[in-house]
Structure 1
């Protein structure tokens, strides 16, 4: 069983375990490809817009800052379902994150009615599969032929939507029970306490000490944030959802004067590695799998494409800009095709490689010689690179057609 990192060393554990796993699994980071990407029209023409697209616009009213913090905490807790993206597109017409957002919105709105506060510890502990399916607006039944009556079909619980609903319900139930056991009325209260502890941990010579403390307290308390694995006897720590939550708090509250919560500064946080960011880095040539057995995952996904021609196209000016097509307010339609399925081990290796590759990309960016009009590249931060990769994957028609690996049964991404 993987042990949690040592106290005070959570961020270091993420970075160091990612680098070690990448190296031992013979995955390379191509620094020339990083430079080519950072200077490419694909990056420079879209970065100012996409790097601030965190998917955190919340068209909701909250009774207090703590209620909003609780909402951010719950939506971060539920920030998974990427393994069901294709099935969700078929069922609802939306991808994983948009469905999770819709679920959290529905829970918030429903909590104003007679059901009680579904976002409280008690509400999370007691919510059932039926309610989750109703709020997600998905069908959790599959049809099969009747065993004795020809031509008759019967419905029974099953299929990918049922599997996802069960994962969501289990995550909410276990988290609610854990919060009640610790005496917290909701997840937001626990997070607020962690933020106060982070403020006390600030050190002038260690700028990320407060974020490290917040990460530690959240991860230690809630199993659904314990995003870690063991690969060939070595631990790998990603903590994607908890890191996302800390950055979401900074985005929402960090600029307020005075802030209602002591939000840690997050420019140095490791990226929030899911399935999108590693896949994009492979397609963009930054993560090199040529010496790794994992290369088959992406070669099988698109076996007939010339990788050199594809890379040239991916780094070029976006097709939508070339054609001067007017942008609309409607979200672009993503591909609903299934991506290559990976095991938990393979998923963690790819996610760790992406974490380390992004650390390298930011280091390279800070040392680059760039034209005066691109001087902003030298100030690139990890969260902004994360946002560009994540939002960029949904922004261009050719990027949206790129297969992303998928892992079913996980509650971590």
Structure 2
């Protein structure tokens, strides 16, 4: 891993490192491709509706706002498993996000003060893989032929679900241990203190930076960064996601139970969905990249774009099928693509804000495009990938054995 960014420079480090890595990889993003997406029927007809889908509605009864913040924080901490999407569909008929959300709900429902509160710092530090597998609802055994008895198969620990369970258990144990050592009863209490520290800042940008830095410095599972070809890259997807989740859940309350930072200028929460979708929608062009050009062979072709950029006129629902696994990437390749998505969204917002008057209708009906924010754009790309049956069939790249997305 590279060193952490300089203090109060976390947001800028995300933007600068992402752009630098994207350019070094010779990934192209043009204003024409961005404008084509922004003015497409697919974008115009779905953005306002779909960009409000965040999946953070929690149908649970909480004893306090702090308890709700704690659950939201743990949900964000565990917001990974995208590399096991296909296997989770096969195992529990849910994708990564829905599986993790169901797991966190199970943690909540099975926790009790006397019986072992898995949402407390001590409970997180102590939970074991057996309990994680039980609450996740997956089988962590694989069948193999017996060594000496022909025709007999035996079960042994292994396979993708075993790997995922180990990742979840490690993150919970590690985070719980950090919180215990720091003297916090749970993750929510730590996050609440970070929010209060950020509220002392002189500007909204500084406030976001302070909260982000506090989360990332303390919690290893938030340290989403790497060195690629000697160059540092910073994403911090889950920590940024958590801060925006707090805005979405508590920002409209009067008065808010915690200080609420502004995330209007937050970098996107880059995962595998956003870069893959931006490739398919023709914004991220990999054709000149020596190491990435063959990942999505037909993406961005005129024939595919013609269909994908039109408004969806087919049925709203389709029979559930196990998705096809996309190209399997190395960690370095994944960071390059995720960095490209960060920079692409920055450029999309820039182009959107400066669309020429002649590109928009005279009646002002599309002037809202100029006002879209980075988090809104992020949520649109993420949610629209699930909204249309043809979008759901688009391949997303795969990186297993990561706890960052």
Contact 1:146 1:154 in 2 (8 A): yes
Name the residue aligned to 2:2.
Answer: 2
Name the residue aligned to 2:256.
Answer: 259
Structure-2 separation of matches of 1:202 and 1:250: 19
Name the residue aligned to 1:61.
Answer: 61
Structure-2 separation of matches of 1:113 and 1:140: 28
Name the residue aligned to 1:294.
Answer: 292
1:314 corresponds, among 303, 308, 321, to 308
Deviations 1:344-393 (A, max 9, x none): 00000000000000000001001113221111101010000000100000
Q: Residue 143 of structure 1 aligns to a residue in which SS?
A: strand
Question: Unaligned stretches of 5+ in structure 1?
Answer: none
When the two structures are superposed, what TM-score results if normalisation uses the length of structure 2? 0.96
Name the residue aligned to 2:173.
Answer: 173
Instruction: Pick which of 364-373 and 220-229 moved more.
Output: 364-373
User: CA distance change for structure 1 residues 99 and 312 in 2, over 3 Å: closer, same or farther?
Assistant: same
Name the residue aligned to 1:387.
Answer: 379
User: CA distance change for structure 1 residues 184 and 332 in 2, over 3 Å: closer, same or farther?
Assistant: farther
Q: Residue 174 of structure 2 aligns to a residue in which SS?
A: helix
Contact 1:51 1:385 in 2 (8 A): yes
Contact 1:30 1:285 in 2 (8 A): no
1:49 Cα offset (Å):
1.1
Within a 5 Å distance, the mapping from 1:76-115 to structure 2 comes to: 76-112=76-112, 115=115
Q: CA RMSD in A?
A: 1.4
Contact 1:335 1:400 in 2 (8 A): no
1:151 aligns to 2:143 (yes or no)? no
1:113 Cα offset (Å):
7.4
Q: Residue 296 of structure 2 aligns to a residue in which SS?
A: helix
Q: Residue 340 of structure 1 aligns to a residue in which SS?
A: coil
When the two structures are superposed, what TM-score results if normalisation uses the length of structure 1? 0.94
1:233 aligns to 2:230 (yes or no)? yes
Structure-1 separation of matches of 2:394 and 2:121: 39
1:347 aligns to 2:334 (yes or no)? yes
Structure-2 separation of matches of 1:115 and 1:144: 36
Structure-2 separation of matches of 1:238 and 1:361: 18
User: CA distance change for structure 1 residues 23 and 334 in 2, over 3 Å: closer, same or farther?
Assistant: farther
Name the residue aligned to 1:270.
Answer: 267
User: CA distance change for structure 1 residues 240 and 288 in 2, over 3 Å: closer, same or farther?
Assistant: same
Structure-2 separation of matches of 1:110 and 1:199: 34
User: CA distance change for structure 1 residues 129 and 220 in 2, over 3 Å: closer, same or farther?
Assistant: same
Q: Residue 357 of structure 1 aligns to a residue in which SS?
A: helix
Contact 1:335 1:401 in 2 (8 A): no
Contact 2:132 2:165 in 1 (8 A): yes
Structure-2 separation of matches of 1:199 and 1:349: 33
Name the residue aligned to 2:349.
Answer: 362
Deviations 1:276-333 (A, max 9, x none): 000000011101111102011112xx5xx7821111100001133xxxx4x57xx984
Question: How many residues matched?
Answer: 399
Structure-1 separation of matches of 2:345 and 2:57: 25
1:54 Cα offset (Å):
1.0
Structure-1 separation of matches of 2:296 and 2:173: 36
